[in-house]
């Protein structure tokens, strides 16, 4: 399932119950950080994004997913300045978490 988030990002919820938040507006940890924190019109772009991952119970899974993606473990539940290539690896890692471990 896809969900728009404040017109500055989106959520993707996978069949296993894991939700990936991808945000790239003002105030998010990306190149648009210094933009006004507001809803953006169509066409807003950015070369990177802030991501976070939670399961259906609301538990943070970002660190686990980053490890599954072969990326350095973040120090927080949010990861900033994620490139498109890394985001694609994160999507694949989100899909691989078995539903019975959630």
DSSP 46-65: -S-EEEEEE-TTS-B-HHHH
How many domains would you assign to the chain?
A: 1
Which helix H or strand E contains 81, and what residues bound it? strand 78-82
Cα separation, 61 vs 52, in Å, equals: 8
Cα separation, 31 vs 49, in Å, equals: 8
What is the span of the domain harbouring residue 67? 2-101
Is 79 in contact with 52 (CB distance < 8 Å)? yes
Q: Say yes or no to pLDDT of 16 above 80.
A: yes
pLDDT in tens, 70-96: 999 899 999 999 999 999 999 999 999
pLDDT in tens, 45-58: 899 999 999 999 99
Quick one: tokens of 65? 């997913």
**According to the model, what pLDDT value does residue 98 have?**
76
């Amino acid at each position: 399932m896809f969900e728009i988030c404040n017109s500055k990002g989106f959520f993707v919820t996978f069949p296993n119950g894991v939700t990936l938040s991808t945000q790239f507006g003002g105030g998010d940890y990306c190149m648009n950080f210094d933009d006004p924190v507001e809803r953006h019109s169509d066409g807003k772009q950015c070369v990177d994004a802030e991501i976070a991952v939670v399961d259906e119970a609301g538990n943070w899974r970002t660190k686990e997913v980053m490890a599954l993606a072969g990326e350095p473990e973040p120090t927080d539940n949010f990861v900033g300045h994620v490139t498109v290539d890394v985001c694609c690896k994160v999507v694949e890692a989100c899909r691989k978490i078995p539903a019975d471990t959630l």
